Amino acid sequence: MHAALSELERLFPPGRLLHRPGELVPYESDALTAFRARPLAVVLPESHAEVEAAVRWCAKHQIPYVARGSGTSLSGGSLPIDGGLLIGLNRMNRLLRLDPQERIAVVQPGFINLQVSNAAAPYGLYYAPDPSSQPVSTIGGNLAFNSGGAHCLKYGMTSNHVLAARVVLPDGETVELGSESLENTGPDWLGLLVGSEGLLGIATEITLRLLPKPETYHTVLAAYDSLAKAGEAVAAVVASGLLPGAMEIMDSLAIEAAEAAVKAGYPLEARALLIVELEGETPQVEAEARYLEEVIQKSGAYEVRVARSNEERLKIWKGRKAAFSAVGRLSPDYIVQDGVVPRSRLGQALAEIEKLSARYGLRVANVFHAGDGNLHPLILYNGRIAGELERAEELAGEILKLCVALGGSITGEHGVGMEKKAYMTEMFAEADLAAMRRIRLALDPLELANRGKMFPGEAPALQFHGAHPLEKAGVISRE
């Protein structure tokens, strides 16, 4: 046994310190199952003090570590470090406090996103950030990836909803960042932590902002004869001053797949569908709905449907939610990319992706959070055909470069992790990366926390892409 492990045995009882090969297998990869690595051991803390002890042990023995929530990262962010420690936070899954007056919830990091809204529902409140993985992903993972979802257009990403966090820094010291109020003095240290992908510390207690549930919804489905027109319609809605709760686009391949899967009643001949949903107080939504109708008519939609009942609304969303996994029906394999462009450049980005798809001879289906400019192109390929995976990867890289060239970013919500670190230099100059590294080294001179992630460098070669087991089982869908 590794000499230092016997010291860990004194800190964690059997069952919460795993180091036999068979015990480690479930932790060897995250949702990007193409990468695998074997940690030295896994610990399953149940308290802040145990996280602190684990991190101190790593610092003492200079062993790199990674924190893990539910392991649904699609970018290899929670992939273990070869020979390092994996700190699994799923057992720290308690709601510590819910204060409806202050509209806050204080949770442990392993608390599941959807459970926050479930706990807040009796008070007419909910937690706004809604990644598609919300039935399984943890608040700690959401914080580290600054996760978003369909409704982040109106309400902002995770960073806009985390008020405070208790954090174990890479040297084992504990700090309290932020406060229960929205006002803070001094630099925004909490802002620095959110989205830092587990590199700056492990959050062990997180205070979240709750919002009142919207009173009513108005859901519109608009059909277009071109993808670019639908993209431009998004820019027109935003330019009009409206702020919908969600704006999503599906292209013809995605429509075909969704229809085949759930029969949502979408117009099958459409080249693109735009879903716009207004939400809020009834008088406000009614007034906005009239205005939205004008904007959509002017944007060149050839068919516009409005959901007249909650059932019709749910049917529209059912198709959209099914689209990702349904694309699996069209192709044996696919890669999901996650890039961002400014909303005003959406039309242009989609037209360029169509050209790239033709040039590479690979079909690309587009389903995305259009309101955020967050694209999720699905690149369809057949892994059995020699060279097709490599071509698909090259095309995925071209799409990321296109996003940066248009003024956007290489990741909207899935993180950089291991998968996209090679593309960091597309986005950041050497000086920017050096500044980020200096911040990291100030907290973690030995680069123990999540070593090997996010900063530029070669990622291991991908071997396989496809649906996550939970997607296959119909528990979560990718959006």
Ligand X SMILES: Cc1cc2nc3c(=O)[nH]c(=O)nc-3n(C[C@H](O)[C@H](O)[C@H](O)COP(=O)(O)OP(=O)(O)OC[C@H]3O[C@@H](n4cnc5c(N)ncnc54)[C@H](O)[C@@H]3O)c2cc1C
Minimum separation from the CB atom of position 148 to ligand X (A): 5
> Would you state the torsion angle of the CA atoms of residues 170, 175, 176, 178, taken in this order, to the nearest 10 degrees?
-70
Name the token pair of 446: 């030995």
Q: Taking CB under 6 A as the rule, does residue 416 contact ligand X?
A: no
Comparison of 46 and 354: residue with beta carbon closer to ligand X = 46
Q: Mark 402-431 as b/e (b = at least 16 C-beta within 10 Å).
A: bbbebebbbbbbbbbbbbbbbbbebbbeee
User: How big, in percent rounded to 5, are the helix, strand and coil portions of the chain?
Assistant: 40, 20, 40
In the bound state with ligand X, the residue whose beta carbon lies nearer, of 93 and 299, is 93
Residue nearest to ligand X (CB): 141
Shortest gap between Cβ of 43 and ligand X (angstroms)? 14
| Residue 304 vs 470, nearer CB to ligand X | 470
Residue 66 contacts ligand X per CB under 6 A: yes
Instruction: Pick between residue 39 and residue 299 the one whose CB is nearest to ligand X.
Output: 39
Q: Any contact of residue 203 with ligand X (CB under 6 A)?
A: yes
Across the strands, what pairs with 169?
none
For residues 270, 271, 273, 274, the Cα torsion angle rounded to the nearest 10 degrees is -140
Positions of E strands within 81-215: 85-88, 95-99, 104-107, 125-126, 162-168, 174-178, 202-209, 211-212
Token digits of residue 261 = 């899967």
Cβ nearer to ligand X, comparing 31 with 285: 31
State the number of CA atoms in the 13 A half-sphere of 300 facing the CB.
Answer: 15
Residue 108 contacts ligand X per CB under 6 A: no
**Distance, CA of 417 to CA of 425 (rounded, Å):** 14
Q: State which of residues 33, 70, 299, 337 lies at the interface with ligand X (CB under 6 A).
A: 70
Residue from 17, 24, 31, 416 touching ligand X (CB under 6 A): that is 31
CB of 155 to ligand X, least distance (A): 14
CB 109, CB 57: distance < 8 Å: no
**Interaction residues for ligand X, span 297-326 (CB under 6 A):** none
Q: Give the number of residues written for the chain.
A: 479
Provide the minimum distance between the beta carbon of 216 and ligand X in the complex, in angstroms, as a whole number: 24
| Cα separations in angstroms, 393 against 336, 382, 424, 464, 466 | 10, 12, 16, 11, 13
Q: Does the protein bind ligand X through residue 140 (CB under 6 A)? A: yes
- Least distance from C-beta 283 to ligand X, angstroms? 31
Identify the residue among 256, 277, 388, 413 touching ligand X (CB under 6 A). 413
Query: In this chain, which stretch among 8-16, 127-135, 257-265, 396-404 interacts with ligand X, using CB under 6 A?
Result: 127-135
**Minimum distance between the CB of residue 3 and ligand X, rounded to whole angstroms?**
26
Tell me which residues touch ligand X (CB under 6 A): 30-31, 66-74, 77-78, 89, 109, 131-133, 137-138, 140-142, 144-145, 147-149, 197-198, 202-203, 413-415, 450, 468, 471, 476-479
